[in-house]
Structure 1
Amino acid sequence: MRYEGNIFRPPSEARSYILQCTIGCTHNRCTFCAMYKDKKFSIRPLEDIKTDIAMARRYYGDVEKVFLADGDAIAMETDDLLEIIKELYKAFPSLNHVGIYASPDVVLKKEMSELTALKEAGLTIAYLGVETGDPELLKDIRKGVTYDQMVEAGRRLRQAGILLSVTILLGLAGRTPRAREHAVNTAKICNDINPDYIGALTLMLVPKTELYRRAQRGEFVLPEPFEILEELRIIIENLNVQETEFRSNHASNYLPIKGRLPDDKEKMVATINSIIGTHDSKYLRPDYLRGL
């Protein structure tokens, strides 16, 4: 298949056919993210995308899952997205899942009728990078939206009937007293959105990012592994979501945790507490096995 640059996708899209509809990210200013630093945002020609779908049909045969890349495929004109989704379902009779990254500022520019049309056409899930619910930290990481705007973006996707998976980022406040506020407020923003899925990742400092440069200057210090677990515990303790799947099984995490909230909340907290109580790193994923 044809791709420009590195391709990124959510962990749950590991078995999906990745269709590159846009290149890069419209925002591309978050201090922690290096995913699209080597790309300038652009939208691929619709005919090229259709050609890729035809190529995928010949190469893969039938597929059940497709993920629309890069970071802001949702920024395409809605009519073009609808045409792409229609072409996908036509090419792959067994298709039952189409996912997409959803930048909050782009979602807010779409009319509800557009989001609803995407759902009706077959867009099944959107991935929203929330990162934190702390208002000051959202500014500091240059997320480009406020707390209220992030909540509105998430609610609009859910209102449209699109499954919503939000990503939160452990360690984002650094080794500071603000880490607790980050954790508490991150649980709060998840409560306000009430997504279908919450995926916790752990911050890893990546060269070419502003946060990496701050760390090199001694202005930012990564929390220790068991401090990260404290953040994870605080977040889960403060979550009051309904019918939400929680996962920390991304490769960046020290401790894989999963459960359905609210039913499994006590069990997940107890597991974290037992590991923290040992303070033994043998129960954690070693750094050499962690990755983005």
Structure 2
Amino acid sequence: MNYYGNVFRPPSEARSLIIQATIGCSHNDCTFCYMYKDEPFIIRKIDDIIAELETIRDYFPQFERVFIADGDALVLKTTDLLRLLEYINKNFPNVNRISSYATAGDINRKSVEELKQLYDNGLKMLYIGFESGDDEILADIKKGLTTEEYISAMEKCKKVKMQTSITIIAGLGGREKWKQNAINTAKLITKTKPDYVSYLTMRIYKNAPIYEDYISGKFEMPSAEEILYEIRLFLENVDSEGTIFRSNHASNYVLLGGTLNKDISGLIETIDDTLRRKNFRPGMMRSL
């Protein structure tokens, strides 16, 4: 298959077949994000995607998972997504899960009936970037969404039993707003209770718009210790029984894994031990 530009996927989709249904991100204004800044947003024709898939037909039996990219593939028309899902279901004999990135805006623009069709045809999980649960920070980073829109999207997903994996970012509020980022993000996760939540750590990239604020001193990047105190404060305030919690992204200073709420005390102990020993993951292991 041909891939265009930079292709990204969640850590858990490392062995999945990545199908690039869109190129880039339809929003692409988030100040912290570097991922698609040099690429125009393109919705690919389903006929072209299927034609490319036909070139790797001999490999179909090897795949058990399929991930539909790029930044927000759910922006596609429901009829087009259903055509792609139908092709996957018919031709990939061993696939047991199909997933995709999605924004809350994409989800809210589809009806519950449309989402149910997608779920019934194999799209079982959506990866959604909340980034923060604080509306002030969401406005700062030009996310283009509010916490109420996140809540509405998650309610729709739950109605159709679509699994959700949420990403949140420690350090996104800088040194000034770390407490409100932690506490309000914990409140949002408490309200929405996703199946999975993954913590990333803020990174500054030269082609991200926030880089200029970082250079000028307007945005102050928290230290490793401050990042861990922020995650600790989140864990002290979240209540989302049964949510799988991870901080296994390459950006993180410490690897955490457990299930909320039963493992919260153990996760906090790991953070406290890391803070005491100052044995943060070194920069060479955190490079992306």
C-alpha separation in 2, matches of 1:151 and 1:206: 30
| Other-structure match for 1:265 | 264
The Cα RMSD (Å) is: 1.1
Are residues 1:128 and 2:124 paired? no
| Other-structure match for 1:286 | 282
Superposition map of 1:86-235 within 5 A: 86-176=86-176, 178-235=177-234
Identity rate, percent: 42
**What's the secondary structure of 1:38's corresponding residue?**
coil
User: Residue deviations 1:47-83, cap 9 Å, x none?
Assistant: 1111122223224543100100101110001011011
C-alpha separation in 2, matches of 1:159 and 1:291: 39
TM-score by length of 1: 0.96
Superposition map of 1:238-257 within 5 A: 238-257=237-256
C-alpha separation in 2, matches of 1:35 and 1:111: 29
User: Residue deviations 1:16-65, cap 9 Å, x none?
Assistant: 00000011111100000011111111111111111122223224543100
| Other-structure match for 1:15 | 15
| Other-structure match for 1:44 | 44
Superposition map of 1:46-65 within 5 A: 46-65=46-65
Note the C-alpha offset of 1:146: 1.1
> What amino acid is aligned across from residue 245 of structure 1 in structure 2?
I
TM-score by length of 2: 0.97
C-alpha separation in 1, matches of 2:57 and 2:155: 34
**What's the secondary structure of 2:62's corresponding residue?**
coil
User: Residue deviations 1:252-277, cap 9 Å, x none?
Assistant: 00000000111111111111122223
C-alpha separation in 2, matches of 1:57 and 1:241: 42
User: Residue deviations 1:143-176, cap 9 Å, x none?
Assistant: 1011111111122122221110000001011122
Note the C-alpha offset of 1:287: 1.1
**What's the secondary structure of 1:143's corresponding residue?**
coil
Unaligned runs of 5+ in 2: none
Superposition map of 1:14-33 within 5 A: 14-33=14-33
C-alpha separation in 2, matches of 1:132 and 1:258: 20
Asked whether the 8 Å contact 1:53–1:88 carries over to 2, the reply is no
Asked whether the 8 Å contact 1:125–1:164 carries over to 2, the reply is yes
Number of aligned residue pairs: give it: 288
User: Residue deviations 1:120-162, cap 9 Å, x none?
Assistant: 0000110010000111001111110111111111221222211
Unaligned runs of 5+ in 1: none
> What amino acid is aligned across from residue 144 of structure 1 in structure 2?
G
User: Residue deviations 1:200-246, cap 9 Å, x none?
Assistant: 00011011211111111111111000110001111111110021100
**What's the secondary structure of 2:128's corresponding residue?**
strand
Asked whether the 8 Å contact 2:61–2:94 carries over to 1, the reply is no
C-alpha separation in 1, matches of 2:236 and 2:84: 41
C-alpha separation in 2, matches of 1:76 and 1:4: 17
**What's the secondary structure of 1:236's corresponding residue?**
helix
C-alpha separation in 1, matches of 2:225 and 2:78: 44
